[in-house]
Amino acid sequence: MKTVTKRDIVRHVTDKMEKYTQEQVQAIVQETLDHITASLAAGDQVVLRNFGVFGIRRTEAKVGRNPKVKGSEVRIPPRAVVKFRPGKEMRDRVAQVLPHLDESLRRND
């Protein structure tokens, strides 16, 4: 599997929509991501039909352990984290990758 970056997305969209420059597409992608981030920071849920839902969840306080220092405990405070729940279309398409993923893992062994 490869890593897809924001730059890869910008290039792909630019290739598909030839009337826009990479700079224009970069600005659109960045503004979209900034708006999603700002919405989540405001406590809103972001719903992208056929893609998924971004939301904020609270994690409870817990005690962590430092494996380098025997017996040390560190209190981890409650915090807000971003959760993503994929939409049905994404879930169905990603589920189809399993046979290919298994095959590529066997080749790498």
Residue 96: pLDDT band (50, 70, 90) is confident
Domain ranges, residue 67: 51-109
- Between CA 82 and CA 37 the distance in angstroms is 10
Task: Mark residue 92 as left, alpha or beta (left: phi above 0; alpha: psi -120 to 50; beta: remaining).
Answer: alpha
pLDDT at 32: 97
d(CA 51, CA 107): 31
* Residues 34 and 85 reside in one and the same domain: no
Compute the Cα dihedral for 95, 96, 97, 102 and give only its sign.
Answer: positive
Q: In total, how many domains does the chain have?
A: 2
Task: Let me know whether 37 and 62 are in one domain.
Answer: no
Torsion over CA of 66, 68, 70 and 76, rounded to 10 degrees?
A: -10
What is the pTM for the complete model shown?
0.76
Residue 4, token pair as written in the block? 């897809």
The answer to whether residues 56 and 106 belong to one domain is yes
Confidence band of 71 (pLDDT split at 50, 70, 90): confident
Q: What proportion of the chain, given as a percentage, has pLDDT over 90?
A: 71
Q: Are both 57 and 17 inside the same structural domain?
A: no
